[in-house]
A and B are shown apart, each in its own frame.
Chain A
Amino acid sequence: MAEIRIKNLHKEFGVGDDKVVALEDVNLDISGHSFVSIVGPSGCGKSTLLNILTGIETPTNGTVEITSDGHVAAPGYVFQAARLLPWRTVTDNLLFVQEDRSEGTKERCQRYLEMVQLGDKGDKFPGELSGGMQQRVGIARAFSIEPDVLFMDEPFSHLDAITARALRRELHHMWDETKKMVVFVTHDVGEAVELSNRILVFAKGGRLEDDIQIDLPFPRDPADDEVAVAKAHVLRKFEELDLLAS
Chain B
Amino acid sequence: MTTTETDSATTETPPAARVTEEELARKARRSELTSRWFWRILSYVAVLAIWEFALLDIFSFLRGSPLDPKLLPGPSEVVATFFEIWGEGTMPAAFQATLTRIAVGFGLSFLIGAMIGILMQSKWFEGFFKDAVLISLSAPGLIWVLITAIIFGNRPLGPTIAIILTTFALVTVNVSEGIRALPKDLIDMAKSFQVNVFKRNRQIVIPHLAPYLFTGLRFGFSIAWKVTVLTEVFSSSAGIGFEMRISAVLFDMSEFLTWILAFFFFALFLEKVVLEAIERRYFRWRQAVTAT
Q: Which residues of A contact B (CB under 8 A)?
A: 54-56, 75-77, 79, 81, 83, 85-88, 96-97, 117, 124-128, 130, 132-133, 145, 162-163, 165-166, 169-170
User: B1 interface residue, CB < 8 Å from A?
Assistant: yes
Nearest CB of chain A from residue B55's CB, rounded to whole Å: 52
Q: Is the CB of A87 within 8 A of B207?
A: yes
Pull 7 A–B residue pairs with CB atoms less than 8 Å apart, ordered by A. A56-B192, A77-B189, A85-B204, A96-B195, A127-B288, A132-B7, A166-B4
Interface of B, helix, strand, loop or mixed by DSSP: helix
A55: chain B residues within 8 A (beta carbon): 192
Known: A85-B203, A87-B285, A127-B285. Contact between A162 and B193, CB under 8 A? no
> Please, how many angstroms separate the alpha-carbon atoms of A128 and B289 in the complex?
6
> Please, how many angstroms separate the alpha-carbon atoms of A88 and B285 in the complex?
7
Chain B: number of interface residues, binned into ranges:
20 to 34
User: B10 interface residue, CB < 8 Å from A?
Assistant: yes
One digit per residue, 1 when the CB lies within 8 angstroms of any chain A CB and 0 when it does not, for chain B 173-214 equals 000000000000110111011010001000110011010000
Known: A128-B288, A166-B7, A169-B1. Contact between A97 and B203, CB under 8 A? no
Which residue in chain B gives the minimum CB-CB distance to A74?
A: B194
User: B291 interface residue, CB < 8 Å from A?
Assistant: yes
Q: Is the CB of B195 within 8 A of A97?
A: yes
User: B272 interface residue, CB < 8 Å from A?
Assistant: no
Query: Which residues between 1 and 51 of chain B lie within 8 Å of chain A, taking CB atoms?
Result: 1, 3-4, 6-8, 10-11
Nearest CB of chain A from residue B5's CB, rounded to whole Å: 9
> Please, how many angstroms separate the alpha-carbon atoms of A134 and B11 in the complex?
13
B193: chain A residues within 8 A (beta carbon): 76-77, 96-97, 145
Q: Is the CB of B192 within 8 A of A162?
A: no
Nearest CB of chain B from residue A82's CB, rounded to whole Å: 9
A133: chain B residues within 8 A (beta carbon): 11
Q: Is the CB of A81 within 8 A of B185?
A: yes
> Please, how many angstroms separate the alpha-carbon atoms of A86 and B292 in the complex?
13
> Please, how many angstroms separate the alpha-carbon atoms of A81 and B195 in the complex?
19
